[in-house]
Each structure stands twice: as structure tokens, then as C-alpha cells.
A = this chain, B = another copy of it.
Amino acid sequence: MATGIQFTLSARDGAARTGVIHTPRGEIRTPAFMPVGTAATVKAMLPESVRATGADILLGNTYHLMLRPGAERVAALGGLHRFMNWDRPILTDSGGFQVMSLGPLRKLTEEGVRFASHLDGSKHMLTPERSMEIQALLGSDIAMCFDECPALPATEAEVAKSMQLSMRWAQRSRDAFGDRPGHALFGICQGGVTRDLREQSAKALIDIGFDGYAVGGLAVGEGQEAMFGVLDYAPGMLPEDKPRYLMGVGKPDDIVGAVSRGIDMMDCVLPSRSGRTGQAWTARGQVNLRNARHKDDPRPLEEGCGCPACRSYSRAYLHHVVKADEIIGSMLLTWHNLHYYQVLMEGLRNAIKSGRLAEFVYGFHATRAVGDLELR
């Protein structure tokens, strides 16, 4: 098993690591942030622009793509890479988290999850086997096990029961995925905020054997402190020589904290979603371009930033197009946010390489604190 892709670590600094995941479609520099291309597009961006921000890999959503345009259709059109014009690596989630979020629209059994589409109410069934089939039809480079993640709040017994189901599904996912050279399957560690359950889950996954391991069930409302509490030990339960992926994270300070604790990959809709609501992420913190204080400001959003929004436009212009609901506002702010996230990842990688992560993290927080006072 676990022969899909290679992962080479080049440096460590404390629990943090930096390295490269090698895939036939290109290298993924870790720690890596993966922009989310839910419906075969990173919203408001052309794929060449996403690449220009420094992204090595995108995330695609099985749930959305199976409903529209449909996995079989994407396969007939040459796969997701060709469909969406992105020839570098793609990771697909399993659909498990998103069907879980449907609440009363879904029904959970040992076999899988039956649910109704949010688009047209049509009935569908996702199982580990069907999820693997869909992800293969999409042609993703890294597939995720189909798992279950209990809605919070949940008792420890509920979390344990859910984790055990996810581990049975992990085995079924592994069996269904089969042997696909050049393609990877990641397991997902569950167990909520209970260390024993995380340990059991990690052991079960390692017994099965995967190309990488995700820490699942976090960033679902437990708060940063509880999340960091789990990340203080969970990455260490996973194989040292495989990538560790924290799903659905997060804000820049979440990312810095997660990388410091040994996480190699992350994804989040936040930078792109924020960009569509006039919110910008900068080294000095979050900037709300809707705020009237920007309307006469000739300065760039972020001094020294190399993205098109900062290179060629004033805060006054960005304020204007955000207020006027012009599409270029979403385009420019999404670009800036994705650019900032990639600059942050590059900074983290370089800091780990040079053994100066603590200094980097100090500077990260200090700059934000100054920004809080001066600029926001």
C-alpha cells in the first residue's frame, strides 16, 4: 500500500517540518496551503492567477462535483484537471464532511450516507466505495477516505462510535481505492478532543496504511485553543515520513499555530470567501475595505505586496468597487488574499529551513499587534 506518492522532508524546527510531496503532476512544497475550488473553480480567479499566487495544489469538493456537473460527466470530458484548466495536483475531499453538514437531509447507516441534493432535492447515496469511485472519475491526485464527523456538541461516546465507524470506512476506502500508481489516498484521524480516541484512530489508520494522514474533526466550532490542544499531540501519533493534513483550516494565526505543531497541508475557503465580501488579510491583520475610512486613501491595501490589487490600485479604488458590488472587487481581493496566504506559507517554509521558526512566529504576531493599533 501507500505507494502513490513520495514525500521528502528537508528540514525540521521543533515539531514543524518542511519538505516536498512529489506527484506526477508536480511538486507540492510543504507546509502547503490549498485554495478551495469547490465547483471546479476557485471563485473569482482564473486558474493561471491561482498558480501565480504560488499555489501548488487545489482542493476540489466531491459533494458539489458529483451533483453538478456530475463525476461521470467530468470523466467523459477528460477529468477534473482538464475540465477546469488546472494541470497541477488536485486533492479531493470525500464528500463525507459536506453530506454530514446537510443535517436532516441525510441519513447515516453502516453502509454509508443517503442524502438529498441541496440543488434539486434529488436522492443520492455516498459510501466509501462510491466516494472512491467518484474521486477516481474526477482524477484527483490525492483522494481522501470517506469518513463521518459528528456534529458538535457530541458526547465522548458519540465521538467514539463515530470514529470507529470512520475506521471501518477507512478500511473499505483503502480496499476500494486499490492500487493506483501516482495517485494517493489519505486516511483521516478522528476522535474529537479525546486523546485516547485520537490514539486509537491513528493506530487503526497506520495498520491499514495510507500515503498521508489528515487530522479530521477539527475546525468545526471547537475554538482555536481546543484545536491547538489536539494539535499538541495528534500529529505526533501519525507517521513521521508521511504528510499530515489539517482539513478546513484556517485563519492565518490558525495556520501558523498548526504548522508549528507539525502540520504539512491545509485548506480553507476563508481567503477566497473573504475576498468576495470586501475583507482582506494582510500581515498587519484583517482589513475591511467596505469601511468608509478607505474612500480617499491613495495607499495600497498592503505596502510591499506584489499582488495585482496592491501593485496597481489604491485602497480608495478597492473601497469603491467593493461598495459598488463590482466583480473586480471580488477578483482583486481574492487574488490578494490567496497571495497573502501563499506568502505566509513561503515565510513559514523558509523559517523552518533556516531554523528560525520561533522568530518568524514572534514577528508574525508582533506585526499583527501593531496593525491592530495602527491600520485597522
Binding site for B on A (CB under 8 A): 39-41, 43-46, 68-69, 73, 76-78, 83-85, 276, 295-296, 298, 308, 312-314, 316-317, 320-321, 323-324, 326-328, 330-332
Contact = CB atoms under 8 A, between A and B. Distances in A.
B83 A317 contact: yes
Contacts of A312: 85
Can you list the 8 inter-chain pairs with the closest CB atoms, starting with the nearest? Answer: A44-B327, A85-B312, A41-B328, A69-B320, A41-B326, A39-B324, A77-B316, A83-B317
Contacts of A78: 298
A68 B320 CA distance: 7
A313 B85 contact: yes
B40 A73 contact: no
B321 A40 contact: yes
Contacts of A330: 327
Contacts of A320: 39-40, 68-69, 83
Given A83-B316, A327-B330, 18 more contacts: A39-B320, A39-B326, A40-B317, A41-B326, A43-B327, A43-B328, A44-B331, A45-B328, A46-B308, A46-B328, A69-B320, A73-B296, A76-B296, A77-B296, A77-B317, A78-B298, A85-B312, A327-B327
A344 B181 CA distance: 48
A316 B83 CA distance: 8
B43 A326 contact: yes
B313 A69 contact: no
A281 to B, nearest CB: 19
A323 B68 contact: yes
Contacts of A308: 46
A64 to B, nearest CB: 9
A207 to B, nearest CB: 40
B39 A69 contact: no
Contacts of A296: 73, 76-77
Nearest to A44: B327
A119 to B, nearest CB: 9
Contacts of A84: 317
